[in-house]
Structure 1
Amino acid sequence: MKVNVGTPDRIVRIVVGLGLVGWAAFGGGPAWAYVGIVPILTGTFRMCPLYSLVGINTCPNK
């Protein structure tokens, strides 16, 4: 799999994902907030399947 998520994009994904999961787990947020797991995983592995499908690459070195 090819890296297609750059550093700024990666940071935003992880922070937003952690916020959503934290909201659902500790703040009593709605169950759909667990969808934050997806941006955490895509930010961690630096690969977004949707980006691959539409041809987006935010990683400047790849």
Structure 2
Amino acid sequence: MQCNVGGIDRLLRVIVGVALIAMVFVGPKTPWGWIGLIPLITAIVGFCPAYALIGFGTCKQEGK
């Protein structure tokens, strides 16, 4: 897997992921908040399968 998620993109994914997961415990307390694991995991790993499908990436590629 090649990195396709850049620094700012990772930060935004972590913020959105944590906010969605927080909805499970506070606020509307809906189980749909667990969908926040997806942006959180993609931020940690640095790879987004959706980006790979469309050929997009925000990670700076070294050597180009």
Do Structure 1 and Structure 2 share a fold, with TM-score over 0.5?
yes
Q: Which runs of 4+ in 1 moved over 2 A?
A: 25-29
Largest Rg, 1 or 2? 2
Corresponding residue for residue 34 of structure 2? 34
Corresponding residue for residue 3 of structure 1? 3
Identity of aligned residues (%): 35
**Equivalent pairs, count:** 62
**Secondary structure, counterpart of 2:12 in structure 1:** helix
Q: Give per-residue Cα distances to partners, 1:18-62, cap 9 Å, x unaligned.
A: 011012123343211110000000000000011001101101235
CA distance in 1, matches of 2:9, 2:56: 12
- TM-score, length-normalised on structure 2? 0.86
Q: Calculate the aligned-residue CA RMSD, in Å.
A: 1.3
Q: Which runs of 5+ in 1 are unaligned?
A: none
